[in-house]
A and B are shown apart, each in its own frame.
Chain A
């Protein structure tokens, strides 16, 4: 059974008198343990799709099953519990609370589980250590670099040991070197068995995932196994980063799709 299952999801935005059809009959299945990227041009509905996946946003029709649970009609409280325990979020703009230290930011999801402060801070320190920022515990976000902030955010997304990590352009605000480090971290998380969905514009980021879901004007355009011109090095499940500037490769282990229209990576993936 797939962890995430969207069937004929439609979503509209009211803009004045018109309704903007943002997601059109979107079908997506993501198996547990997969690492998937969502690509598409600006405005194609990637963020909307990810927000629907994260129960941050509602949809108008269709069926969304998260781990077999229908999401429609979920109470606010249950939705909050899902967001807290089941899903971890990583945002392009980090979304750390500026008045809290790195440690407090990482610990925040546990606060909403009613875990004691002592235990929370202990766990938060462990996760900060995992992302290599233990000595930055007491710093506020304004004192951290972009990459550091994103690592704090990733530590925060992991602290509740979620089964699904949703990242909306996690490298969008970072330089390519830092992007690599963040992708290494996400790959490592994935290697640990967590399902990861990444929205990205960058081909080399997408290339490090097992599968690419392409959106065009709110429709699934193609769903392709991430391929590369040099399918020799398979690193998809490897936690170690590939230092190569060219997109690292992964041969699909996913069974979900076969309609692979091998795109030329230089042109289309960058779109």
Chain B
């Protein structure tokens, strides 16, 4: 390895050729900086888009009923598929199911209703939910609590409201907990207030939701045992697609739906979206990383070039060293370590500058407004370590050819040059 003496040898030569050192260093520095910018931008874009998607478990599946498109078992096509509590029980028996959140919503999916409080009204999406729902679409509780099992069994007339509803109905700063809202002539006591990690239109919709206990919903709004749709998550290790397949199979069986009928059951799985998103970002990051790496490679070629020139310039010195007993190995080691040290120092400065740049970027980002689809850029420890390894590798690579030339120099020829 490189001992203290070799370090001194290396720094002596690097100091001796200040301009060369500075120029080479600048190349590597910029290379690393660009690589960091590329990786950082990719990460920023990714976290930006993913931020707008969070608030969902990644293997969540949503299932609702539609109309059959194929006649089956003596039943005509165009038959409406409705779900009820029997389906809840059946789905609960599926091994793959982790959380099962049957839902009902006033006016159906994306339907609206009105909530009133002290003469003010707000349009809301009123949905009946089980406690499990809070793990599917992860609301951020700001005050109070979400619906619990007791609310369900006792069919309590309570509700959990989004901050959007709160803003419309309550004066600023007022405590909503314990207050009563009127929905379709029924009064519900507010037990919780939630926000969301989502952004944009999706967030607006989420925050204008009022959750009431699923059992209360069915009773208060005369839904009998009807269920609008299900939000379901799979057990760990079960992919969203597999979960979706099993659910569809079970429901098709129970509702006498043809196995070929794709349209009778509507479903959507978050995993599909996530996978699509992930593979897209993988591609983007791959391209950005590749471009950055190539930039770095170009600067390494620069290092190699300048090292080569420096070997030429130092022919005499190398000749003297050889005359004094430097073996080819010693010469190769000297040149390669010089190259590595030069690349590493410059690269390290580039890394530090890059990280600082990303910090500035992350600081600036929230101040650009919330519409920018960019999130904080995260360059993980792994990336930094990888960058370090790559630097050493590239540095060594840059030194190989010059070192080979240096080792090949004949001592006489070296001594002859003036």
Chain A interface residues (CB < 8 Å from chain B): 51, 54, 56-58, 76-77, 80-81, 83-85, 89, 91, 95-97, 99-100, 108-109, 111-113, 117, 156, 160
Query: B16, A109: Cβ atoms under 8 Å?
Result: no
Query: B12, A99: Cβ atoms under 8 Å?
Result: yes
Smallest beta-carbon distance B310→chain A, Å: 13
Q: With A and B bound together, what is the CA distance between A99 and B16 in angstroms?
A: 7
Q: With A and B bound together, what is the CA distance between A117 and B5 in angstroms?
A: 7
In the complex, chain B residues 80-124 whose Cβ is within 8 Å of any chain A Cβ? none
In the complex, chain B residues 306-352 whose Cβ is within 8 Å of any chain A Cβ? 316-317, 319-330
Q: With A and B bound together, what is the CA distance between A54 and B415 in angstroms?
A: 13
With beta carbons under 8 angstroms apart, the residue of B15, B324, B410, B411 that contacts A108 is B324
Chain B interface residues (CB < 8 Å from chain A): 4-5, 9, 12-13, 15-16, 316-317, 319-330, 410-412, 415
Query: B325, A117: Cβ atoms under 8 Å?
Result: no
Which of B324, B326, B412, B415 has the most chain A CB atoms closer than 10 A to its own CB? B324
Q: With A and B bound together, what is the CA distance between A81 and B5 in angstroms?
A: 19
Write the chain A residue with the least CB distance to B410: A57
Smallest beta-carbon distance A27→chain B, Å: 22
When A and B form their complex, which 3 residue pairs have the shortest distance between CB atoms, in order from nearest?
A: A84-B325, A80-B327, A57-B412
Q: List, sorted by A's number, 30 A–B pairs whose CB atoms are closer than 8 Å.
A: A51-B412, A54-B323, A56-B410, A56-B412, A56-B415, A57-B410, A57-B411, A58-B410, A77-B328, A77-B329, A80-B322, A80-B328, A80-B330, A81-B325, A83-B322, A83-B323, A91-B415, A95-B319, A95-B320, A95-B323, A99-B13, A108-B324, A109-B324, A111-B9, A112-B321, A112-B326, A113-B325, A117-B4, A117-B5, A160-B325
Q: With A and B bound together, what is the CA distance between A160 and B324 in angstroms?
A: 10
Smallest beta-carbon distance B133→chain A, Å: 71
Q: With A and B bound together, what is the CA distance between A97 and B326 in angstroms?
A: 14
Query: B327, A56: Cβ atoms under 8 Å?
Result: no
Chain B residues with Cβ below 8 Å from A160 are 325
Q: With A and B bound together, what is the CA distance between A96 and B319 in angstroms?
A: 11
Chain B residues with Cβ below 8 Å from A97 are 317, 320
Query: A95, B326: Cβ atoms under 8 Å?
Result: no
Write the chain A residue with the least CB distance to B13: A99
Smallest beta-carbon distance A109→chain B, Å: 5
Smallest beta-carbon distance B334→chain A, Å: 10
Smallest beta-carbon distance B250→chain A, Å: 76
Q: With A and B bound together, what is the CA distance between A97 and B323 in angstroms?
A: 12
Chain B residues with Cβ below 8 Å from A80 are 322, 325-328, 330
Query: A89, B324: Cβ atoms under 8 Å?
Result: yes
Q: Given the interface contacts A100-B12, A111-B5, does A81 sit within 8 Å of B324 by beta carbon?
A: no
Query: A109, B325: Cβ atoms under 8 Å?
Result: yes
Smallest beta-carbon distance A256→chain B, Å: 27
Smallest beta-carbon distance B174→chain A, Å: 77
Write the chain A residue with the least CB distance to B4: A117
Query: B411, A56: Cβ atoms under 8 Å?
Result: yes
Q: With A and B bound together, what is the CA distance between A49 and B415 in angstroms?
A: 15
Query: A83, B325: Cβ atoms under 8 Å?
Result: yes
Chain B residues with Cβ below 8 Å from A112 are 321, 324-327, 330
Chain A residues with Cβ below 8 Å from B322 are 56, 80, 83
With beta carbons under 8 angstroms apart, the residue of A76, A83, A99, A117 that contacts B324 is A83
Q: With A and B bound together, what is the CA distance between A96 and B253 in angstroms?
A: 93
Q: With A and B bound together, what is the CA distance between A112 and B5 in angstroms?
A: 11
Q: With A and B bound together, what is the CA distance between A58 and B410 in angstroms?
A: 9
Chain A residues with Cβ below 8 Å from B410 are 56-58
Chain A residues with Cβ below 8 Å from B319 are 95
Query: B5, A76: Cβ atoms under 8 Å?
Result: no
Q: A95-B316, A99-B16, A117-B5 are in contact. List 10 more A-B contacts (CB 8 A).
A: A56-B322, A57-B410, A77-B327, A80-B327, A84-B324, A91-B415, A95-B320, A99-B13, A100-B12, A111-B9
Q: With A and B bound together, what is the CA distance between A89 and B319 in angstroms?
A: 12
Write the chain B residue with the least CB distance to A113: B325
Smallest beta-carbon distance B151→chain A, Å: 78
Q: With A and B bound together, what is the CA distance between A85 and B326 in angstroms?
A: 11
Chain B residues with Cβ below 8 Å from A117 are 4-5
Q: With A and B bound together, what is the CA distance between A124 and B181 in angstroms?
A: 94
Query: B4, A95: Cβ atoms under 8 Å?
Result: no
Q: With A and B bound together, what is the CA distance between A57 and B412 in angstroms?
A: 6
Q: With A and B bound together, what is the CA distance between A109 and B322 in angstroms?
A: 10
Write the chain B residue with the least CB distance to A116: B5
